[in-house]
Amino acid sequence: MQGLLTSLALPPLLLTLLALSGGLLAWRGWRPGGAIAAAAAGLQLLLATPFCADLLVTSLSADLRPGIVQPAGAAAPEAIVILGAEAMRDGRELDIGPLTLERLRVGAALARRTGLPLLVTAGELSPDEPPLGPLMARSLTRDFGVQAQWVEAQARDTRDNAVLSAAMLRLSGISSVWLVTHGWHMARAQQAFRRAGLATAAAPVHPIMPPEQFELDWMPRADHLAMSWFALREWAGRLVYAIRD
């Protein structure tokens, strides 16, 4: 249900429905319908441009410093937590998706550099599918030669990631961790972990630089529409957190 509501409330589905509705109303003689359809289609194209996608992502990760740096005066992290993102089907078998793989790569490199133990966290992404957490642990071992010490496989969202991971780590006396997720997701993730009582140092994946306004930055592309969707969903998540808190 949460996934359905998210899809309905965000582009591209929201703007597609607005364009279709506006076009239908214009066809039935209501003149403003044409303007609504044109505006929705234009905004859809704008969100698909690299410039707009990069601008939205940068707005979410503006406070992150380049690289992986422990904040001055903060407690030294005692473990590394990698948040799951998405999965994809490889033939008949479910496997980790590209975003999850990027997070695992950063987490594995950080584990080698620091020698700290790893926790991966992600539950079922859809009914009747295996949880993502064990798939992440398998990929860490198979693809990076790194073992996950803890595997959390029940979390349904970022808040669950924080609460369930914190409960696991407290049993080992751990109160501060490196948090691995994408830069555009980091602020909300750190807020969730802070509320769960776990201090975090940011280990962001792909810190985004502000757009430079090259000519090709205005050419719409499907992958940048997807990135705009991630960014808009993240802003919606921040709004929900602000209202709930």
* The pLDDT value given to residue 50: 87
The full DSSP string for 179-233 is EEEEHHHHHHHHHHHHHTT-EEEEEEESPPPPP---GGGGS--HHHHHHHHHHHH
Sheet holding 176-182, edge to edge: 150-152, 118-121, 79-83, 176-182, 199-205
* The pLDDT value given to residue 128: 81
Residue 144 burial by CB count (10 A; 0-12/13-18/19+): exposed, middle or buried? Answer: middle
Please report, in tens digits, the pLDDT of each residue of the chain (245 residues total). Answer: 566 677 777 888 889 999 999 999 999 999 899 999 999 999 999 999 988 888 888 888 766 665 666 665 667 999 999 999 999 987 778 999 999 999 999 999 999 999 999 999 999 988 788 999 999 999 999 999 999 999 999 999 999 999 999 999 999 999 999 999 998 999 999 999 999 999 999 999 976 555 565 666 788 888 889 889 988 988 888 888 888 76
* The pLDDT value given to residue 61: 74
- Other CB atoms closer than 10 Å to residue 31's CB: what's the count? 8
pLDDT in tens, 8-40: 778 888 899 999 999 999 999 998 999 999 999
Structural domains in the chain? 2-61+220-244 (no CATH), 79-205 (3.40.50.620)
Q: How far is CA 113 from CA 17, 19, 90, 106, 205, in A?
A: 49, 51, 31, 11, 16
* The pLDDT value given to residue 63: 67
* The pLDDT value given to residue 67: 60
Angle among Cα 63, 68, 74 to the nearest 5 degrees reads: 75
* The pLDDT value given to residue 242: 81
* The pLDDT value given to residue 74: 67
Q: Give me the phi and psi of 145, to 5 degrees please.
A: 65, 30
- The residues with which 119 forms a beta bridge, in sequence order, are 81, 150
Task: Evaluate whether 83 touches 121 at the Cβ level (below 8 Å).
Answer: yes
